[in-house]
Amino acid sequence: METVTLNNGVTMPILGFGVYQIPAEGTERAVSEALAAGYRLLDTAAAYGNEEAVGRAIKNSGIPRAELFVTTKLWVQDAPAQDNTRRAFETSLNKLGLDYLDLYLMHQPFGDVYGQWRAMEAVNREGLAKAVGVANFYPDRLIDLIVNNEVVPAVNQIETHPFFQRSDYQELMREHGVQIQSWGGFAEGKNGLFTNPLLGEIGKEYGKSVAQVVLRWLTQRGVVAIPKSVNPERMAENFDVFDFELTDEQMARIATLETGSSLFFDHHDPQIVAGLAKRRLDA
């Protein structure tokens, strides 16, 4: 497995397994099958409602904890954000049945971001989270957080796929030592991704599927990817992307698919902000 090294020296697999939108009752089986297929990076979140199932799969796998890289995410917290963030972190850790996290991410750039981040810095200093980062932060919010705090986020997990490539933003993050991670790498099939003729043509040259081409395109750019599947055959296929390399010409052709905007939601949209910022999780 190829890896990336985060800004604090922590090593992270460049390809992992995500559990977003996998129902809690199916998550344990899916994670168990992903681990059996070779995945060692697991990505969940408090908001997904399946941390306990991920934890059971980890426990039952028999894989040494040191071989795994586990990420979960903090949802928007009410004031006092520092106290509530600590409680939310401990709740996630308990649900996962772990002594520490490899990466803890602030899921949304809303609420008392500074209070939440100070609490995250604290769990990082204590070794309870080996690295801390953010998700869904646009450039203005990310730079604001960096210049006004002690710890630079190790990761920013953002929508990244062939139709919204984030290349300029990736370069900005690289300049500040922030690792880009993709969510929605397959664009959830939007814009006919899985039948895209350009991606299909490139795949035929290597005997690979469109999904494999997309994952190779992401990882070859240095983007950490976390594809989701509940199908063991697809899991294995998604994991098998390191035996070929796209050419510069093929990378340039894929760049032409850029649309320049999200296919899901805009974190600058007032209605989106209001909806996400007001949502609260049950304890």
Residue among 20, 39, 48, 114 flagged as catalytic: 48
Cα separation of 82 and 26, whole Å? Answer: 33
Q: State the residue for tokens 């070859």.
A: 220
The two structure tokens encoding residue 133: 């980062």
Closest CA to 121 of 68, 180, 74, 183: 74
Contact at 8 Å (CB) between 157 and 183?
A: yes
Q: What is the pLDDT of residue 73?
A: 98
What b/e string do you get for 227-261 counting C-beta neighbours within 10 Å, with b at 16 or more? bbbbeeeebbbbbbbeeeebeeebeeebeebeeee
Q: What is the pLDDT of residue 280?
A: 84
Q: What is the pLDDT of residue 283?
A: 54
Contact at 8 Å (CB) between 241 and 206?
A: no
SS3 call for 4:
strand
Instruction: Report yes or no on whether pTM surpasses 0.75.
Output: yes
Whether the CA torsion 219, 225, 227, 232 is positive or negative: it is positive
Q: What is the pLDDT of residue 278?
A: 81
Q: What is the mean pLDDT of each run of 10 residues along the chain (283 residues)?
A: 97 98 95 98 97 98 97 91 95 98 97 95 98 97 97 98 98 98 97 98 98 98 97 97 98 98 92 88 70
Q: What is the pLDDT of residue 26?
A: 96
What is the separation, in whole angstroms, between the first and last Cα of the chain? Answer: 36
Q: What is the pLDDT of residue 79?
A: 76
Q: Give the start-end residues of each E strand in 107-153.
A: 132-135
Cα separation of 258 and 251, whole Å? Answer: 12
Helices 139-147, 113-125: inter-axial angle, 10-degree rounding: 60
Contact at 8 Å (CB) between 176 and 152?
A: yes
Q: What is the pLDDT of residue 168?
A: 97
User: For the purposes of burial, counting CB atoms within 10 Å of the CB of 155, is it exposed (0-12), middle (13-18) or buried (19 or more)?
Assistant: buried
What ranges do the domains of the chain cover? 11-277
Q: What is the pLDDT of residue 138?
A: 96
Active site residue 138: no
Q: Which CATH number describes the domain made up of 11-277? A: 3.20.20.100
Cα separation of 214 and 193, whole Å? Answer: 9
